[in-house]
Chain A
Amino acid sequence: MNILTLLIFTPILFGVIVAVLPSAWRGSFKYITLLATLVQLGLSVWIYCNFKTGAGFGGVNHESQFQFVQKLPWIDLDLGTMGKMQIDYFVGIDGLSIALLVMTSLILVIAALASWEIKSNLKGFFVLFLILDMAVIGVFCSLDFFLFYIFYELMLLPLYFLIGMWGGARREYAAIKFFLYTLFGSVFMLLVMVGLYLSVKDPATGNHTFNMVQMMNPANYEPGSVFSALSHQTIFGFPARAVGFVVLFIAFAIKVPVVPLHTWLPDAHVEAPTPVSIILAGILLKVGGYGIIRVCISIFPDIASADAYWLGLLGVISILYGAMNALAQKDLKRMIAYSSVSHMGFVLLGIASQTAEGISGAVMQMVSHGFLSTMLFFLAGVVYNRVHDRGIGHFRGLASIMPQYAAFVMIAFFASLGLPGFSAFIGEAFSLMGAFKSHSVNGLLPYWMAVCGSVGILLGAAYFLWTLQRMFFGQVNLKGGSVWQTALTDLNFHEKITLVPLALLVLVLGLMPSLVFDKVNDSVLALVQFLQFK
């Protein structure tokens, strides 16, 4: 049994168990789910330890360099004169996926722990949770576009229900907004996928294929096909490849999210229950970043270089605009949501630079933001669960009544604002370095973008420290008076064991970024080389 397949489908196995158990046993569901995520974590740690590095394991556009590969014919349909339809079950990982894969498994454990707060309709919740779990892992492992798309779409469905059924007051609005936004992106992605399928032929079998790795090789494109670089086809008067790139980019940019496609995020976060917020911010956004690297710029490297300026610009706008918005927020969760927009802007900026520093920095930033946003949303959930309020102005002097909570908030805030020693600093600094270096290396981004991006770090300090000052310091003054004061107890054991590993992880990654970079480096170098000699 291939270990990736095992990793992907473990949750569904447990999901079935949860589904068939009688509702009277509902108390056990959370433990079953936690067990599922722990098994997954164990598997992915094993994969991480056994992941080979070296120039021969770069991956990206070399199918043979992927690891833990499983490739099975899935849908083989003889279409007569139209040839044969070839869809494979094709999974495998390289350095770009491994870091995100391990991060995802870990965040899912945390999300499972955060699900303790769910009190209603437990069976439905945990079954949907486990389906979502399978889908996100599947996305990071798939190398066949069709399979990728199925997992990608499969994430939407459970999330819609998880937000719509277990969310806050405006949950229906948030759920439908989220659903339509992402569906809008992915529907057009389907068209591009079909276009690519019809353009690319597997050199071995001569059939059209959904194999993403083969889509990266210009030689596999049929002459005269719609996405062939040589045929210069147009769609609505625009070059076909540019249209394909833009459509795919919009689909993933909605996930990242890139300004101005981001407004689903604050609403979805504010309404979603804590575990769903964690999965949304921790994992879903990274699917966007991963998709841009794996699909957009790898399949359309020529367009990616031509449009790098615009990608970088969008990145800088996201950084600054997100930070500005975060500064204006009065709701803690909304503030964190906008800070995510700002932090993910660094990812886009780093990717756009197409330098080794920039892309490694972007991957690091994604991993780091995965852990940090998880921590931040969990912390926001702590206070919300106690008093059902998140207004920043409704609290004051929390550090006096909840000292341990305040300590974790400070760790999370300072790590997020890029204090060196924590992982976000490495991610942000190297994204910026790549962006700045880009002009001398490949001439894609102008120098000023990195400088403007760094202003985001300054604004980050402003909104986090302002929140700290308003909510946590000063004399105790709560909107709910003494009722709140008794309700606001310090962290319990369950919350502490959730937060401690996260805090340690961001610290360890900040001190030893090689834990990520060592695994990622070969693939990043391969990708940079591939982009240079496209």
Chain B
Amino acid sequence: MKTITLEEFLNDIDTLTIHFTLAAVLLPLLAFIINFSLPGRLHKLAGWVSTIAILLSCIISASVFSKVWNSHHVHQQMLWFTIGDTKVYAGVLLNNLSVLMLLLVNFIALPVHIYSTAYMKDDEGYNRYFAYLSFFCFSMLALVVADNLVLFYTFWELVGFSSYLLIGFWFTRDSAVQANKKAFIMNRVGDIGLLTAIIILFAQFHTFDISQLFADKGVISQSVIQGGTWIAPLGNMPAVWQYIACGGLFLAVAAKSAQFPLHTWLPDAMEGPTSISALIHAATMVAAGVFLLGRVYPLFNGAELTILALIGCFTAFMAATIALTQNDLKRILAYSTISQLGFMIMAMGIGAYASSLFHLATHAFFKCLLFLVAGIVIHQMAHIKKDNSLDIDPQNILTMGGLRKKLPLTFIAAIIGGLALVGLPLTSGYLSKDGILIQAFEWSDGKSGFYKIIPITAVLTTWLTAFYVARLILKVFFGELKVLSDHPGIQIHIGDGGWRYKLPLILLAVCCLFPLFSVSPLLYEQAWLFQGLTLTIRAVHANIYHTLIPVSVNILSVLVIYGAYMMYVKRKGNIFLQSGFLYRLSAGEWYFDRIYNSVIVKPILFLSTAAFWIDRTIIDGFINALADIGIKIAKLCAWIDHHIIDGFLNLLVVIVEAVGNFARRFQGGKVQYYLFSMLVIVLLLFILKTVF
């Protein structure tokens, strides 16, 4: 009988886990391949192929999660290729962070798939939609388990690529293809940053392996910056390259997670189907930036983290102010996503690592829910528009109102999602957001007064959030249906829709409440997710912040919501001017697009025209001038040939001819001439003789 040691036994289990993980990752890829090769006629099948794939993947990743969470890291790899002396491996790295993301992505993707089978059912590109959707899921799942930076970069870009495909899903719409081009190119800026960072890390540490680089005792933790040099175990380079690597990583994070200054693609990305916005541009892909930060966290030093916190905080505030005045339902949600991502980045910057990822998880649920709600609302408004041939924008919240009676379930889901977004108690958003706020205050305590700006702005942003969420829900679900009062007599047949709409909403709404994350509705430290991700176990600070901040923040939030209610539903006083600089700044989205257009896009286009001009005029001009000179010299040579060399020869000929003609005359054959010439010659001789 063969006995196996405990180690071998554990290895076997690990191998099984890895196989499970691979299955979870590859199932959506399989669905993509099937859907891609399905003939167009097999319409309904595509949706179920993708949905079943993601369902299986979800179940498998749940089992992987249960094996790895809070237990041990699993890391297996195999040789991918060798280049020079460098061996590049491909493998799977499972730790708390990756299995959490694995489960989260699947768990969000599942309801979105179910919802999509109904939402997209009348679209011509149904097959294509699900093929793309499965491809996205594959890339995202692979991204979170990739164990080295080359592989990570690969899936990082593939995620962006599938997002490109899905934003431009309705490719005959100009706005959609403008938006997807913008999204891809802005993401490319981030990709370049990531690539540069990878190159720097590789040159410095000679490896791509994430666990070797970023683990607790990894090579990065052994490197130091001393006297302007970045010293690592295997070599060193000027310290500036450490800053550039961090800058590159920040660009990558900013591009994917839509942070200032690369955030402007996300609102435009709402041109894609709403179900896509829910999955990709709200819950999963945009969180990839935060996930990247989580992976490479040890590289950042104190000052760099502070910059991160400032940018995150600024983004959160800026996006929230823009969300206040937008009228497009999806645009409001897009800006709220940017704002919440800003919170996560800020949390990373202030060292609230676990809270940041916790917020990532809770945000994924409630933002996905809100987008699905938006999808239903927009769909119903589009119905009204189509049934009555109206000229309205189905996404404009000013045409909505009073929908709570028509869409009761959607309304409840919206309320739950909205409260979670604001972060009121009993919701998951409360647990994660208040964690961030409390830690922000704690962080600023040890620092100079200037740093207080971060927690204060964050709290301010929370109140702004409460206001725009309230405005959104009140305008959509309360009051009177605006389109009906504008066009009396129109037919309205709308409702929540079938189970494929309702089930995802219920599922996600349940996940927006506290019990999924913590037994205690009020203490974020007790959330299992928070505990599982905390880097260092700290004694729980039972300081004043832990009670003061949640209480004050939430009371004021409720007041803000009440104010909004009074303003929009009861129509009692409007404290905001519809004109003025601040309003225009907010409605104009801080004019980022205009600035980028005139500061970056136009100069580059000008430069490219100039480059082509140089090519045509200077380089080719020089070449053509050379050719001209060649031809001129050739012509000169021909002239010399003709007139001088040939001329000389011709002259000789002419002379000889003339002499010949002259002499010929003496040979006429007449005796008199001969005698005469003889006489002349004799006479001449005599004359010459007498003279000389």
Residues of A within 8 A of B (CB): 177, 180-181, 260, 262-263, 266, 321, 324-329, 355-357, 360-361, 397, 399-400, 414, 419-421, 425, 429-430, 432-433, 436-437, 439-440, 447, 450-451, 454-455, 457-458, 461-462, 465-466, 468-469, 472-475, 512-514, 517-518, 521, 524-525, 528
Q: Do B608 and A357 touch (CB < 8 A)? A: no
Known: A440-B203, A474-B177. A357 touches B171 (CB 8 A): no
Q: Give A104 to B536 CA distance when docked, in angstroms.
A: 57
In the complex, the answer to whether A473 meets B171 with C-beta atoms within 8 Å is yes
Report Cα–Cα, A474/B271, bound state, in Å: 13
Q: Which residues of A contact B172 (CB under 8 A)?
A: 397, 400, 473-475
**Are B86 and A432 interface neighbours, CB within 8 A?**
no
| A461-B202 CB under 8 A given contacts A440-B237, A451-B244 | no
CB neighbours (8 Å) of A469 from chain B are 177-178, 181
Which residue of B is nearest A510, CB measured? B154
Distance between B626 CB and nearest chain A CB, rounded to angstroms: 9
Which chain B residue has the least Cβ–Cβ distance from A322? B611
Q: Top 8 A-B pairs ranked by shortest CB distance?
A: A356-B84, A420-B154, A327-B608, A324-B611, A514-B81, A473-B177, A328-B612, A328-B608
Q: Is B623 a contact partner of A177 (Cβ separation < 8 A)?
A: yes
With both beta carbons as reference points, the residue of chain A lying nearest to B234 in the complex is identified as: A440
A461-B185, A465-B181 known; A525-B84 Cβ under 8 A: yes
Chain B residues with CB under 8 Å of A466's CB are 181
Cross-chain contact A454 with B192 (CB below 8 angstroms) = yes
| Interfacial chain B residues near A421, Cβ < 8 Å | 154, 158
- Cα–Cα, bound, A294→B24 (Å): 47
Contact bitstring B151-188, A, C-beta under 8 A = 1, else 0: 00111011001000000100111101110010011001
Residue of A nearest to B195 (CB): A454
Contacts of B679 in A (CB 8 A): none
Minimum distance in angstroms from A520 CB to a CB of chain B: 9
B558 at the interface (CB under 8 A from A): no
Q: Which residues of A contact B7 (CB under 8 A)?
A: none
Q: Does B199 contact A (CB under 8 A)?
A: yes
- A-side contacts of B118, CB under 8 Å: none
Q: How far is the CA of A400 from the CA of B173 in the complex (A)?
A: 12
User: How many angstroms from the CA of A440 to the CA of B200 in the assembled complex?
Assistant: 11
Q: Whole-angstrom distance between the alpha carbons of A262 and B611 in the complex?
A: 13
User: Hey, which chain B residues are within 8 Å of A266, CB to CB?
Assistant: 615
Cβ–Cβ < 8 Å partners of A465 in chain B: 181, 184-185
- Asked if B641 is at the interface (CB within 8 A of a chain A CB), the reply is no
User: Which of B196, B199, B619 is packed against the most chain A CB atoms within 10 Å?
Assistant: B199
Contacts of A181 in B (CB 8 A): 623
Q: Is the CB of A263 within 8 A of B619?
A: yes
Q: When the two chains form the complex, which single residue of B80, B84, B154, B173 contacts A524, counting CB atoms closer than 8 Å?
A: B84
B575 neighbours in A (Cβ, 8 Å): none
Task: State whether the Cβ of B235 lies closer than 8 Å to any Cβ in chain A.
Answer: yes
Q: Which residue of A lies closest to B90 (CB)?
A: A511
Residues of the B chain whose Cβ atoms lie less than 8 Å from the Cβ of A462:
185, 188, 604
Residues of A within 8 A of B158 (CB): 419-421
Given that A325-B615, A328-B608 are contacting pairs, would A414 and B84 also be in contact in the complex, using a CB cutoff of 8 Å?
no
Query: Which among A328, A357, A360, A361 is the interface contact of B609 at CB below 8 angstroms?
Result: A328
CA distance in complex: A123, B627 (Å):
33
User: Shortest CB–CB separation between residue A528 and chain B, in angstroms?
Assistant: 7
Interface residues of B in 214-238 (CB under 8 A from A): 235, 237
Interfacial chain B residues near A517, Cβ < 8 Å: 81-83
Complex formed: what's the CA distance from A455 to B607 in Å? 14
A469→B171 CA distance, assembly (Å) = 9
**A440-B191 Cα distance, complex, nearest whole Å:** 24
Query: Cβ of B605 < 8 Å from any Cβ of A?
Result: yes
Asked if B241 is at the interface (CB within 8 A of a chain A CB), the reply is: yes
Give, as a whole number of angstroms, the nearest-CB distance from A24 to chain B: 42
Cβ contacts B624-636/A at 8 Å (1 or 0 each) = 0001000000000
Complex: how many Å from CA A469 to CA B85?
Answer: 42
Given A327-B608, A432-B195, A457-B191, list of 10 further CB < 8 A pairs?
A: A321-B611, A325-B608, A360-B83, A420-B155, A429-B199, A440-B235, A461-B188, A468-B181, A473-B171, A524-B84
Task: Pick the contact of A461: B184, B203, B237, B607 (CB < 8 A).
Answer: B184
Q: Is the CB of A457 within 8 A of B188?
A: yes
Interface magnitude class on chain B: 35 or more
By beta carbon, the residue of chain B nearest A334 is B612
Q: Which of B84, B181, B203 lies in contact with A360, CB distance below 8 A?
A: B84
Query: Quick check: is B445 within 8 A (CB to CB) of the other chain?
Result: no
A512 → B minimal CB distance (Å)? 7
User: Are the C-beta atoms of A429 and B235 separated by less than 8 Å?
Assistant: no
Tell me the total A-B contact number using a CB cutoff of 8 A.
Answer: 147
Question: How far apart are the CA atoms of A162 and B178 in the complex, in Å?
Answer: 40
Q: Does B150 contact A (CB under 8 A)?
A: yes
Assess whether B237 is in contact with A429, with CB atoms less than 8 Å apart.
no
Judged by a CB distance under 8 angstroms, whether B189 is at the interface is yes
Say which residue of B204, B611, B615 sits within 8 Å of A263 (CB atoms).
B615
Given the interface pairs A328-B608, A461-B188, the reply to whether A447 lies near B623 with Cβ below 8 Å is no
Q: Report the minimal beta-carbon distance from A515 to chain B, rounded to whole angstroms.
A: 9
Interchain nearest-CB distance for B601 vs A (Å): 9
Could you say which of A425, A433, A472 contacts B202, with CB atoms under 8 Å apart?
Answer: A433
Which residue on chain B has the smallest CB distance to residue A441? B203
17 A–B pairs (Cβ distance < 8 Å), ordered by A: A177-B623, A327-B604, A327-B605, A327-B608, A421-B154, A436-B199, A436-B200, A457-B188, A457-B192, A458-B185, A458-B189, A458-B192, A469-B177, A474-B173, A512-B81, A517-B81, A521-B82
Is the Cβ of A514 less than 8 Å from the Cβ of B195? no
Closest to A430 in B: B83
In Å, the complex CA distance between A399 and B165 comes to: 13
Q: Is B393 an interface residue (CB 8 A)?
A: no
Given A325-B615, A419-B157, A454-B195, CB of A356 within 8 Å of CB of B188? no
B620 lies within 8 A of chain A by Cβ: yes
Q: Which residue of A lies closest to B36 (CB)?
A: A407
Q: In the bound complex, do residue B611 and residue A521 qualify as a contact, i.e. CB atoms below 8 Å apart?
A: no
Is there an interface contact between A458 and B188, defined as CB atoms closer than 8 Å? yes
| A524 / chain B contacts, CB cutoff of 8 Å | 84
Q: CB distance B611 to A325 under 8 Å?
A: yes
Let me know if A355 and B84 touch, CB within 8 A. yes
A397 contacts across to B, CB distance below 8 A: 172
Instruction: Report A-chain residues with C-beta under 8 Å of the C-beta of B196.
Output: 450-451, 454
Alpha-carbon separation in the docked complex, A521 to B176 (Å): 45
Chain A residues contacting B83 (CB-CB under 8 Å) are: 356-357, 360-361, 430, 513, 517, 521
Known: A462-B185, A465-B181, A514-B81. A433 touches B161 (CB 8 A): no
Q: Within the assembled complex, what's the spacing in Å between the Cα atoms of A436 and B191?
A: 17
The smallest C-beta distance from B186 to any residue of chain A, in angstroms, reads 10
Q: Are A513 and B192 in contact (CB under 8 A)?
A: no
Instruction: Please give, as numbers and ranges, the residues of chain A lying within 8 Å of B192 by CB-CB distance.
Output: 454-455, 457-458
CB distance from B26 to the nearest CB of A (A): 13
Closest residue on chain B to residue A184 by CB atoms: B626
| C-alpha gap A525/B178 in the complex (Å) | 46
Tell me which residues across on chain A come within 8 A of B84, comparing CB atoms. 355-357, 360, 521, 524-525, 528
Give the Cβ gap from B616 to chain A, nearest Cβ, in Å: 8
Provide the residues of chain A in CB contact with B619, threshold 8 Å.
260, 262-263
Bound Cα distance A316, B157 (Å)? 23
A417 to chain B, nearest CB (A): 8
Contacts of A326 in B (CB 8 A): 608
Inter-chain contacts of B154 with A (CB < 8 A): 420-421, 425
In the bound complex, residues from chain B placing their C-beta under 8 Å from that of A400 are 172
Within 8 Å CB of B171, what residues of A?
399, 472-474
How far apart are the CA atoms of A279 and B367 in the complex, in Å? 53
Give Cα A462–Cα B607 distance, bound, in whole angstroms.
Answer: 14
Q: Is the CB of B609 within 8 A of A450?
A: no
Which chain B residues lie closer than 8 Å to A325 at the CB level? 608, 611-612, 615
Residue of B nearest to A462 (CB): B185
Q: Name the residue in B84, B178, B235 with the highest tally of chain A Cβ atoms < 10 Å from its Cβ.
A: B84
Across the interface, do A414 and B161 meet the contact criterion of CB distance under 8 Å? yes
| Residues of A contacting B235 in the complex (Cβ-Cβ under 8 angstroms) | 440
CA distance A514 to B79 in the complex (A): 10
